[in-house]
Amino acid sequence: MVQFILQRTIQTIFVLFLLSMLCFFILHLIPGDPVLSILGEEATQEEIEKLREELGLNRPVIVQYFYWLGGVLQGDLGTSIIYRESVSSLIASHIQPTIHIGIIAFITSVVVGVPMGVIAAVKRGGWVDSFITTTANLGMAAPHFWLAILGIYLFSLKLGWLPVQGYTSLFDNFWLNTKQVIMPSLVLGFSTMAILARQARSSMLEVINQDYIRTARSKGMKKNNIIRKHALKNAMIPVITLSGLMLPNVVGGSIVIEKVFNINGMGRLMLDSVFDQDVVVVQGCLIIIAVAVSLANLLVDISYGFFDPRIRYK
């Protein structure tokens, strides 16, 4: 098991290195000059060269990359071109809403979506299966911004149950924070919940038709015991895989959610930095997201060994 974890950890480090290269070099291929964005088109060549040297943009791109990578390994993500502030402190001041809403959305999607899929498989062909399948199809097809606008219209403007926008820290006002994160979290997690429900249903249907399940039934075991002790554990492997793959969708969807609900989170910071051509901030946000997703996938890989011991010996 230790060797299995070590192999996956080395693979994750290698993937992060490749992602850092892609993140850096692709952003530097984007048309436009951040120096001109700061100084304006009327700036003199002397002013442009001076600022370019101050920001380190006059060095070769490969030198800039290794200089940036060395800072990242020491916890320094650089200095924002527009804000003239440490990227680490900028992200730290914006990341709380993103993490808070993202974690609630992800947990909700797993806790609700997987049981929905299992129930749909067990009740296959009935009205429960039809209802869950239809809801899952709707969740997969509906875009985040449409669900967000529909939720604002119904629950905020018509019913007045939830705030329209904004985010208050959990430590400043717990009740207001709870009301503010309910709708963004549900909207953000709805599509992931739908996908997990469909996958759980498909995996469960495949497992319950296996020979060992029929053997357990022929021995007179109760249906609930068969599902809980034999079918569920084997059906969870594809669901766990998909859960790890869905994490980037939750993080990426936060950009749209934060924009619609006027939440000053990391997703909105990254979006504004893209339009401002603040490449350093975008790089910092992307590397944070890459690390979070890679660690989540590492945990998913390790969890395979616990659900199916055969995997750790392959």
Tokens of 274: 């893209």
Name residues whose C-beta falls within 8 Å of residue 192's C-beta, 6 or more positions apart in sequence: 105, 106, 109, 113, 246, 249, 250
> 86 in helix, strand or coil?
strand
Q: Which CATH number fits domain 95-276: 1.10.287.130, 1.10.3720.10, 1.20.120.530, 3.40.50.620?
A: 1.10.3720.10
222-278 pLDDT, tens digit each: 777 777 666 777 777 777 777 777 776 666 667 888 888 888 888 888 888 888 777
Q: Where are the domains of the chain?
A: 95-276
Contacts of 8 (CB under 8 A, 6+ apart): 298, 301, 302
Distances (CA, A) of 120 to 92, 210, 227: 42, 18, 13
Give the pLDDT of the chain (314 residues) as one tens digit per residue. Answer: 677 678 778 888 888 888 888 878 877 776 666 666 666 666 677 777 776 776 666 777 788 788 888 888 888 887 787 777 888 888 888 888 888 888 888 888 888 988 898 888 888 888 888 898 888 888 888 888 888 889 898 888 888 888 888 888 888 888 888 888 899 988 888 888 888 888 888 888 888 777 777 777 777 777 777 776 667 777 777 777 777 777 766 666 678 888 888 888 888 888 888 887 778 888 888 888 888 888 877 777 777 666 665 555 45
